[in-house]
Amino acid sequence: MSAAIAVSATTTLTAVVLPAGAAAAAAPYRGANTAAVQDDFNGDGYRDLAVGAPGAADGTVDAAGAVVVLYGSASGVSAARRTVITQATTGVPGTPEEWDGFGTAVTSADLDRDGYADLLVGTPSESAGTMGGVGSLTVVWGGPTGLKGGASISPPTGLDEGCGFAAGLAVGDVTGDGAPDLSVTGNCGATTYTGPFTRTGGAAQRHFVNELGTNRGVVMGDVDGDGRAERFWLPGPTDGDVSGPVYAEGDDGRYTELPLADGLSGQIGDINGDGYGDLVTGVPYDASLTSGATPAHRGGEIQVLYGSAQGINPTQKPQTIHQDTAGVPGAGEDGDLFGISLAVGDTNGDTYADVLVGTPGEAMGSAHYAGSATLLRGSASGLTTAGAKGYTQNTTGVPGAAESGDRFGAATHLVDVTKDGKAEVMVGAPGENSDGLLWTARGSAAGPMTSGSTATGGTGAGLKRRYADIDFGAALPGAQSTT
């Protein structure tokens, strides 16, 4: 099953097509978007994990940022098998600068179709000359020895201070040619790139969608079973809709609102096992966090729209789940941020995708913003609360203890790094002890196993802290948090 990855009233938008140089003339590599190479950077057959740490120091340069890649194996991931990537890494473009936040967004795909996944890193706070926060996007190339060398992905022209280019990233094969296509969001519009990419970072084509304005996120995945990914844009809070509208991009390049749907975060996976991807969105802002209209249920909520041979019908009413839904652990409380991060994957091998929901604002007694994560099960009838599990750092088997400001659940990810057909649970807690933390639990036929689960901190993963918090675990593929 597929899992991807991050304007109101019915509106038609158009895209500006910009030349990006000649495309490489090569036969399509059909493996480019399969799980085998989606995030296997070294080609050993195990999927790997990229973890963003935007507050990590580079020598004396505070908060330059870093990405730690943990390599998959039959026993899972650990800091013992890792690569640390920064803008000081040989072959990686750019120079470490204070508050760049390299690693604010991460994802991966085989951009050049050589059979090895490539790492994509968003740095929305990157400066350009004297202009701060313009943003940049970097690709680091995979290969038989892991990640080595890189290139800059050309941004649209005319970006200005504060544009935050590459704050959100998503990949998928929109054209069906076997080459991954790329979607990038920021404060000054959205940009799409049609693959394949050359080793200089050039795409076959680049589109700048300036009509979207500020755009928080994008989700890509196949919801109609035709083997091609669809795009769904999540512009973020707008006047009159603080929960954020959801726009579907049609084959004709036009964008149509799904009028009954909301969302600030999103993922796609086949929850009911019918062969069509389903769109899950997070609606985390409740009335305690905003004065606008249409806030989420108290504490936040998620919504599910089910795919079909016709895709997602704009008139479909979403399934809504929150912490006051029967069977969901906990209770909805002001500012919980239930749904600000999402992950989709099959944790028990039953062929139905499950949903992991991050709730970094959850309080544990007097520990405010300690955070939690909730696993909801997929089934033939759709997403169900039967057998739902809640995880915190007070859960038996989870290392550590819940503390104020940990923000456990700020980022979530489900990925099978052991190659046993069952996704592991990955949860980021970037506020853990000014260091940050990644919790991992192995998947099994009974679901994630807290017994034997592990916690890796930023310093334990080879990162350094100067003054800023390291924020290790702030970003996982397809799960960028703004908390």
Query: Per-residue pLDDT tens for 24-51?
Result: 333 334 444 566 678 999 999 999 999 9
Q: Which of 4 and 127 is assigned the larger pLDDT?
A: 127
**What is the per-residue pLDDT for 328?**
98
Query: Per-residue pLDDT tens for 71-117?
Result: 999 999 999 999 999 999 999 999 999 999 999 999 999 999 888 99
Round the average pLDDT of the chain to a whole number and report it.
89
pLDDT, average across residues 203-231: 83
Amino acid letter, 28: P
